Amino acid sequence: MAVYLALGQAEGRKGLKTMKKPTVLAINPYIYDFAAYSFWSSPLGLLYLAGILGRNGFHVDLIDCMTVREDKRKKDGRAPFVKQKVVRPDAFKGVRKNLRRYGMSPEELRGELAGLDRPDLVLVTSIMTYWYAGAREVIDTVREMFPESKIIAGGIYPTLCYEEALRVFAKADLVVRSGELELFYRFIEEAFMVKLASRPLMDDLDILPYPAYDLYPDIPFVPLLTSLGCAFKCTYCATPYMYPKITRRHPRGVAEEIRHWHGLGVGRFVIYDDSFLYNSNCYARPLLSEVARLSPPVDIYNPNAVNAAFVDDDLAGLLMRSGFREVRIGLETVSPSAQKDMGGKVTNAVFERAVGALKRAGYRKEQLSAYILAGLPGQRWEEVKQAIDYLKALGVMPYIAEYTPIPHTPMFEKFKDTARFPVAEDAIYQNNALFPFAWEGFTEEDLNFLKRYAKE
């Protein structure tokens, strides 16, 4: 049967056939911060999009501005970012800390861009909300050097601070929140008159291609996206807002991905998951049992911490056998009332049971650490000291995680007006290094003392 098309449609069809596939440049911007270290950091969301466009047959280049000191890379794969002191902007008047740019310099980025043919499409990610200044500079530079290129910005910052991001990234053609990938695909299809054969949304993680780590010359570690969303609703965390539903990958698919990278010589894997051990009979146990059989064995790291409630003797043994070289556990506080207020994820009894199991599995003190939250609204410094003492007595290394006020979290909405910086007006003040909830019961001096004390 003949198909008759209106003239415009016919031209459109012809256009679709003859239009060259657009070339894509993915950029992970440099950042400005008071302190930063690559705890196995990686722009995983951006690399997924690069993988998806690659699967659609697009040529994709990557500029990861977060360069590290290779000469200082540790055995576990972590490395310090290249860094340079910069002048503090007016927004930080009165802040006595050194501000640095981490990663490539703007001049180096210009050099990299100058070496490329003009890309048709540029994707810029923006991870922590308070890192937007680097992303804005990168977007402005790309706009200046490639006025004709289409620029799309996305990531956690636009997702959590959308209205602000629209203003800040005014030179981008489109700003996308997570959950809006449909908009992203439609923009590309319309701007370049192409039809995308593969346009997965993040509601089925099993159909995603692997993130495009092959765009790096070396792969020191591979972060794994095992799920999106979290089984818990901690009042300081933005995950329930960003991903209200838990979506998990099939453990077999994750094991296959590990085997894929392992076959290419990658030996370190990092779990980016908010509740990895949740429902472990169906998830972590089958996955880790497969990983434990790999030869040569792999190393696994979990900078996002595991939930103590799910660690029993059997699981602790499996963590050890599958390659967890160290285990980070979430504790947050030892105050039972604060534990309940924050979501009731862990109690001291549960925590002690998990530590016992990990020790019986063979973990030594230097391989066990726990995060303690410091600087919560209204918190007294003595509460943090009590948690440090508790961990020291249990033989677990304390890690102080300074509280970060994050938009759309219950704690942020409740306390945003009591912070000593306008955290709701400008995301730059959401940086935990600014200690936004310092007060006379918990001063910056107290925090510095606690950081030293935790290491003693």
Site for ligand B12 (CB under 6 A): which residue of 109, 168, 188, 238? 238
- Among 206, 245, 199, 201, residue whose Cα is nearest residue 225: 206
The residue (of 357 and 416) whose beta carbon lies closer to ligand B12 is 416
Task: Kindly tell me which residue out of 64, 120, 164, 274 binds ligand B12, with binding defined by CB under 6 A.
Answer: 274
Check residue 53 for interaction with ligand B12 (CB under 6 A).
Answer: no
**Pick 210 or 361: Cβ nearer ligand B12:** 210
Reading the block at residue 91, the tokens are 């927004």
Q: Are 277 and 304 in contact (CB under 8 A)?
A: no
- Judged by CB under 6 A, the residue of 224, 237, 396, 411 near ligand B12 is 237
386 lies in the site for ligand B12, by CB under 6 A: no
Size of the site for ligand B12 (CB under 6 A): 42
Q: Between residue 387 and residue 446, which ones bind ligand B12 under the rule CB under 6 A?
A: 401-402, 404, 406, 430, 432
Q: Which CB sits closer to ligand B12, 361 or 428?
A: 428
Residue type, 332: E
Contact 399/352 with Cβ under 8 angstroms?
no
State phi, psi for 122 to the nearest 5 degrees: -120, 130
On whether the CB atoms of residues 361 and 292 are closer than 8 A, the answer is no
Cα-trace Rg, the chain: 23
Place of tokens 């029993």: 312
Q: In the window 342-371, what residues touch ligand B12 (CB under 6 A)?
A: none
Of 229 and 317, which CB lies nearer to ligand B12 in the complex structure?
229
CB of 123 to ligand B12, least distance (A): 4
**Separation of alpha carbons 388 and 381, rounded Å:** 11
Contact 307, 345 (CB under 8 A): yes
Q: How many CB atoms lie within 10 A of CB 43?
A: 23
Q: From the list 53, 176, 287, 423, which residue makes contact with ligand B12 (rule: CB under 6 A)? A: 176
Mark the segment that binds ligand B12 (CB under 6 A) among 2-10, 45-53, 86-94, 259-267: 45-53
- Cα separation, 205 vs 247, in Å, equals 7
Is residue 184 a contact point for ligand B12 (CB under 6 A)? yes
Binding mask 122-161 for ligand B12 (x = CB under 6 A): -xxx-xxxx---------------------xxxxx--x--
- CA angle in degrees (0–180, nearest 5) for 381-385-389: 170
Q: Is 228 helix (H, G, I), strand (E, B) or coil?
A: strand
Q: Which of 253, 303, 343, 356 binds ligand B12 (CB under 6 A)?
A: 303
Is the CB of 304 or the CB of 348 nearer to ligand B12? 304
Distance CA 448, CA 336 (A): 25
Q: Pick one of 225, 298, 311, 394: the residue that binds ligand B12 (CB under 6 A).
A: 225
**Residue 25 near residue 190 (C-beta atoms within 8 A):** no
Site string for ligand B12, 316-335 (x = CB under 6 A): --------------------
> Which has the closest alpha carbon to 334: 372, 288, 379?
372
Give contact residues for ligand B12 (rule: CB under 6 A): 36, 39, 41-42, 44-46, 48-49, 123-125, 127-130, 152-156, 159, 176, 178, 181, 184, 202, 225, 237-239, 242, 272, 274, 303-304, 401-402, 404, 406, 430, 432
